[in-house]
A and B are shown apart, each in its own frame.
Chain A
Amino acid sequence: MATVKKVSAIKNNPKHLLGIQNLSIIEAKNILNEAKTFIKLNRSSSKKLDILRGKTQINLFFEPSTRTQSSFDLAGKRLGADVMSMNMGNSALKKGETLIDTAMTLNAMHPDIIVIRHQDSGAPNLLSQKVNCTVINAGDGRREHPTQALLDALTIINRKGNIEGLKIAICGDILHSRVARSNIYLMNMLGAEVNVIAPKTLMPVAVEKLGVKAFTDMKKGLDGCDIVMMLRLQNERMQGSFLPSKREYYEFFGLTPEKLKLAKKDALLMHPGPMNRGVEIDTKLADDINVSLVKEQVELGVAVRMACLKLYCK
């Protein structure tokens, strides 16, 4: 009897999407399969569904964001949810309100989903312990950005058919990047081989233990890669000197057409945006539709977020 009780207790708890680390491979594939069904819909002229009709979605953004926030905004609306976006900036903090206070206030309004972005790692985990609704992580500190990794995976699958057996290079500011971490976990889970490439000062300690090979030389790191994921140099997270100069960084770690040739012939380029053109990526390369998947990433982002909202809101 006791076990039966336990199961029902779990069922009543809302499920959260806090990170790829908490996902099973079945859950990840489930989201990706679900997302595929939305790609076509998003390209059609009538994009509205009523799957989430009557549900309330709050986008709680403590950090500025353009694409992630608008992507979640659209995703919710296309599924028929009532979406409210709140840009917290520093306003709540200035008034002395803690994350928990804000969460409790919003919780009292009975939302069904809270999508949160926060500058502190672990903030979505904390939030999920205190509210009665589903929490979806839209990026926390330098820890995880699960929907970005899922949309990256969907983009790759869309082009290459499969992720298993591919070799993927993630290059740039790995240390400060939640996108890198989520992608490392997800690509590994889906059977890819992952290389990370960064100057030593931007490489997290013990990164190999996450299941990657670490390189400081782009020549070696890009060798034989099918996908090259460039990361933004996160100047706003850098306190103190990590690099001598942007010029030197571009020289050694910026992606140019020449360096891309070190990877496989049909290698494709990805970037989570926003890009620092001329810092981590050659500007022409970024716009080259033959190799760059950047626009597709943004497009499929909406589909992935629709899938997450649908699956986690039930």
Chain B
Amino acid sequence: MEKILTNVRIIDPSQKIDEIGNIIIDEKGKIKSIGKKTKPSDASKKAEKIDLKGNIAIPGIVDMKAFVGEPGFEYKENFRTLSQAALAGGVTSIVTMPNTKPVIDNVSMVDFIIRRGRDKAKVNLYPCAAITRQLEGQQMSEFGLLKERGIIGFSDVNKTIQNTELMSRIMNYASDLDTLIMQHAEDYELAKNSCINEGEVATRLGLQGVSDIAERIIIERDLSLLSEFPCRYHINQISSKNSLKVIEKNKSNGIRFSTGVSINNLSLNENDIGEFRTFLKLSPPLRTEDDRLSLIDGIKKDLIDVIVSDHTPEDEESKRLPFAQAATGSIGIETLLPLSLELYHNKSLTLEKIIKCLTINPAKILKINKGTLKKGSDADICVFDLEEPWMVKAEELKSKSKNTAVENRKLQGKVKMTFLNGEVVYSN
């Protein structure tokens, strides 16, 4: 049945629109008509009418980095819980990471997760495969075969290809297949045993810190290689001001690549770790306030293209350990948009820019037909109240694991409704 969404402010950076209007969704779940010129009378008489009460509608969010526990870590997260959390956060498309058990590095695993995801998840899933077999950084995965089976891109998640020769071959080989390579930038030797940013906080807490050089040196290396072997290259998450300088320089030299940042690095800094809050042990680590501000500036200058949740569910046992031994990562898919909106409310970024980094930019990098509400595209829509205040409570979040980095944070802006292919899949 056709649907008409009325009384809605539509923000869609892919069409450069920010206007009050209506949206008509056809019976196939595609956008039939959208914008201020779309009138309720344009819809068929039988159309279901949904009043969005002046809330904002944006394209369903595309999250380029999330971990789903299946297979092997079902006790941390599964397809069902991940998709529930995603939809509650307005996320309709997820790039899932391959660091499962077994690792997603061969075609039979791809078939398994695509089938499993289709059956259990009510969200668009785009699985990533490992760049190297077993994430060991030694032997390339079967890029071609994996791509044919529906792999969207390749990532060794929080591991980095250390071997320069191998990295050059990966780029060289990937360029021919037009596959996306997503690198986590960290030099292992410089980052050895580290669990926090190097600086005063690390010195006081007595923890091994890692300097941002560890990140910068890999970015510098990869971008040098990229100038020789141009391929679709994406830096998963950057965390520091100095990395941005390298990115700026290379972009001005005409090197083509894209860059992501975790919402955590935009919303928190190393001081938030306090006395050993292991939920804030992240990779890349939280850095200084100066770094955080420069990352926001990087988004303003289009040096950073994508904001990701870096959703990393971990059970309590993995986190209730001394800081150095505790697992790395925090959940975040459900709070991705509300935390991003904080950057609007505190006047760091414009709404249009934030939404761009959450929708059309990742869709373009992934080369998928998402992140837009253009006529004819899938009606994946996130509807949110820009002003509604609420407080993050871990036990109310939908993820199976409760390791949020922003427990008790007061936020402004809440997802009210999520549409997937024109169907209401979440509302509150």
**Which residues in A have some Cβ–Cβ distance to B below 8 Å?**
21, 98-100, 118, 120-123, 125-126, 140-144, 178, 181, 204-207, 209-210, 239-240
Knowing A205-B209, A240-B192 touch, does A126 contact B203 (C-beta < 8 A)? no
B203 contacts A207, CB within 8 Å?
yes
Q: Which of A126, A206, A207 contacts B322 (CB 8 A)?
A: A126
Chain A residues contacting B275 (CB-CB under 8 Å) are 122, 125
Chain B residues contacting A98 (CB-CB under 8 Å) are 317, 320-321
Knowing A125-B276, A144-B206, A181-B206 touch, does A206 contact B200 (C-beta < 8 A)? yes
How far apart sit A209 and B324, CA to CA, in the bound complex (Å)?
A: 23
Knowing A143-B206, A205-B199 touch, does A118 contact B192 (C-beta < 8 A)? no
Given contact pairs A126-B320, A141-B207, A142-B206, a sample of 17 additional A-B residue pairs in the complex whose CB atoms are under 8 Å apart? A98-B320, A120-B322, A121-B205, A121-B207, A121-B322, A121-B323, A122-B275, A125-B276, A126-B276, A140-B206, A141-B322, A141-B324, A143-B205, A143-B206, A205-B200, A205-B202, A205-B203
Chain B residues contacting A210 (CB-CB under 8 Å) are 200, 203-204
Chain A residues contacting B205 (CB-CB under 8 Å) are 121-122, 143
Chain A residues contacting B199 (CB-CB under 8 Å) are 205-206
B206 contacts A178, CB within 8 Å?
yes
How far apart sit A239 and B207, CA to CA, in the bound complex (Å)?
A: 14
Any A CB within 8 A of the CB of B138: no
A205 contacts B198, CB within 8 Å?
yes
Chain B residues contacting A121 (CB-CB under 8 Å) are 205-207, 276, 322-324
Chain B residues contacting A141 (CB-CB under 8 Å) are 206-207, 322, 324
How far apart sit A115 and B198, CA to CA, in the bound complex (Å)?
A: 29
Chain A residues contacting B323 (CB-CB under 8 Å) are 120-122
How far apart sit A178 and B207, CA to CA, in the bound complex (Å)?
A: 11
**Which residues in B have some Cβ–Cβ distance to A below 8 Å?**
192-193, 198-200, 202-207, 209, 211, 275-276, 317, 320-325
How far apart sit A126 and B321, CA to CA, in the bound complex (Å)?
A: 7
How far apart sit A122 and B193, CA to CA, in the bound complex (Å)?
A: 16
How far apart sit A141 and B207, CA to CA, in the bound complex (Å)?
A: 8
Chain A residues contacting B317 (CB-CB under 8 Å) are 98
How far apart sit A209 and B198, CA to CA, in the bound complex (Å)?
A: 13
Q: Can you offer 9 A-B residue contacts whose CB atoms are under 8 A?
A: A121-B323, A125-B276, A126-B320, A126-B321, A181-B204, A181-B206, A205-B200, A206-B199, A207-B203
Kindly provide the distance from the CB of B189 to the nearest chain A CB, expressed in whole angstroms. 8
Chain A residues contacting B192 (CB-CB under 8 Å) are 239-240
How far apart sit A123 and B207, CA to CA, in the bound complex (Å)?
A: 12
Chain A residues contacting B202 (CB-CB under 8 Å) are 204-205
How far apart sit A118 and B321, CA to CA, in the bound complex (Å)?
A: 12
Kindly provide the distance from the CB of B277 to the nearest chain A CB, expressed in whole angstroms. 10
B322 contacts A21, CB within 8 Å?
no
Kindly provide the distance from the CB of B45 to the nearest chain A CB, expressed in whole angstroms. 59
How far apart sit A143 and B204, CA to CA, in the bound complex (Å)?
A: 7
Knowing A121-B207, A125-B276 touch, does A209 contact B200 (C-beta < 8 A)? yes
Chain A residues contacting B211 (CB-CB under 8 Å) are 205
Which residue from chain B places its CB closest to the CB of A22 in the assembled complex?
Answer: B275
Which residue from chain B places its CB closest to the CB of A124 in the assembled complex?
Answer: B322
Q: Which of B198, B200, B325 contacts A120 (CB 8 A)?
A: B325
How far apart sit A154 and B204, CA to CA, in the bound complex (Å)?
A: 23
Interface centre among B204, B317, B320 (most CB of A within 10 A): B204
Kindly provide the distance from the CB of A21 to the nearest chain B CB, expressed in whole angstroms. 7
Kindly provide the distance from the CB of B292 to the nearest chain A CB, expressed in whole angstroms. 17
Chain B residues contacting A142 (CB-CB under 8 Å) are 206
How far apart sit A181 and B204, CA to CA, in the bound complex (Å)?
A: 8
Chain B residues contacting A143 (CB-CB under 8 Å) are 204-207
How far apart sit A143 and B203, CA to CA, in the bound complex (Å)?
A: 8
How far apart sit A140 and B320, CA to CA, in the bound complex (Å)?
A: 17
How far apart sit A143 and B324, CA to CA, in the bound complex (Å)?
A: 12
How far apart sit A143 and B206, CA to CA, in the bound complex (Å)?
A: 4
How far apart sit A123 and B320, CA to CA, in the bound complex (Å)?
A: 10
B322 contacts A99, CB within 8 Å?
yes
How far apart sit A206 and B203, CA to CA, in the bound complex (Å)?
A: 7
How far apart sit A118 and B323, CA to CA, in the bound complex (Å)?
A: 12
How far apart sit A118 and B324, CA to CA, in the bound complex (Å)?
A: 12
How far apart sit A204 and B205, CA to CA, in the bound complex (Å)?
A: 11
Kindly provide the distance from the CB of A174 to the nearest chain B CB, expressed in whole angstroms. 9
Kindly provide the distance from the CB of B326 to the nearest chain A CB, expressed in whole angstroms. 9
B204 contacts A21, CB within 8 Å?
yes
Kindly provide the distance from the CB of A114 to the nearest chain B CB, expressed in whole angstroms. 15
Q: Which of B193, B276, B321 contacts A99 (CB 8 A)?
A: B321
Q: Which of B193, B203, B204, B322 contacts A123 (CB 8 A)?
A: B322
Kindly provide the distance from the CB of B283 to the nearest chain A CB, expressed in whole angstroms. 18
Chain A residues contacting B206 (CB-CB under 8 Å) are 121-122, 140-144, 178, 181
How far apart sit A204 and B275, CA to CA, in the bound complex (Å)?
A: 19
A-B interface, 7 closest residue pairs, ranked by CB to CB distance from nearest: A143-B206, A120-B322, A121-B206, A122-B276, A206-B200, A142-B206, A204-B203
Which residue from chain B places its CB closest to the CB of A21 in the assembled complex?
Answer: B204
Kindly provide the distance from the CB of B168 to the nearest chain A CB, expressed in whole angstroms. 27
Chain B residues contacting A126 (CB-CB under 8 Å) are 276, 320-322
How far apart sit A100 and B203, CA to CA, in the bound complex (Å)?
A: 25
Chain A residues contacting B320 (CB-CB under 8 Å) are 98, 100, 126
How far apart sit A141 and B193, CA to CA, in the bound complex (Å)?
A: 13
How far apart sit A181 and B206, CA to CA, in the bound complex (Å)?
A: 9
Chain A residues contacting B324 (CB-CB under 8 Å) are 120-122, 141
Which residue from chain B places its CB closest to the CB of A209 in the assembled complex?
Answer: B200
Which residue from chain A places its CB closest to the CB of B196 in the assembled complex?
Answer: A121
Which residue from chain B places its CB closest to the CB of A127 in the assembled complex?
Answer: B322
How far apart sit A223 and B19, CA to CA, in the bound complex (Å)?
A: 71
